[in-house]
Amino acid sequence: MSGFEDFAFKYIRFILISIIVMLVIVSGEKIGLAIDKRQSSEAQTYAIVEDKYTDTHMAGGVLVTNYYIEVKIGDQKKSEKIQITYEQYQVISKGSKVLCTIYYKKDKIVDVELATTHRKE
C-alpha cells in the first residue's frame, strides 16, 4: 500500500469506529427506557396541560421542530414533558385535559405518553 492508501484506510476506519461509538451512546438511553417500560406497569388517566412549546434546532443542515406539552398528573409536584406531533400541538391548548398513559415502577413514574384511542368506524 502506498502512503496515501494507508492514510485513507486508517482515516475511514477511525470514522467508522467513531460513528459506531456515537450510535451506541445515543441508543443506550433509548434502549434503557424501552426496557424500563417493558418491566413497568401502566395506567391511563386524564392530565391537565400546563404548558406547550416548541424546540427548533438544526439537524444535518435541516431545521427540525419538536413539539412538547407539559402535563400535571394528579397531585404530582413535578410536571411531565410529552413530545407530540404537529397536528396534536395545533389542537391541544393550555388548560385542556388529555388522556395519558403512565408507565410506573415501584410507585415511580418511568415515562408518560399521550394515549391513543382506537375508534371503530
- In terms of domains, do 58 and 109 share one? yes
User: 109 near 102, Cβ under 8 Å?
Assistant: yes
- In terms of domains, do 54 and 110 share one? yes
Cα–Cα distances in angstroms (integers) from residue 52 to residues 33, 48, 64, 70, in the given order:
23, 11, 17, 6
The CATH number assigned to the domain holding 48 equals 2.40.50.660
- In terms of domains, do 57 and 75 share one? yes
Q: What is the DSSP letter of 106?
A: T
- In terms of domains, do 56 and 72 share one? yes
Question: Which residue type is seen at 65?
Answer: T
Q: 21 lies in which domain range?
A: 1-39
User: 83 near 65, Cβ under 8 Å?
Assistant: no
Beta strands 41-59; 80-84: pairing state: unpaired
Task: Give me the tens of pLDDT residue by residue for the chain, a chain 121 residues long.
Answer: 577 788 888 888 888 888 888 777 766 666 665 566 677 788 889 999 999 999 998 888 889 999 999 999 888 888 999 999 999 999 999 999 999 988 888 878 888 888 876 555 4
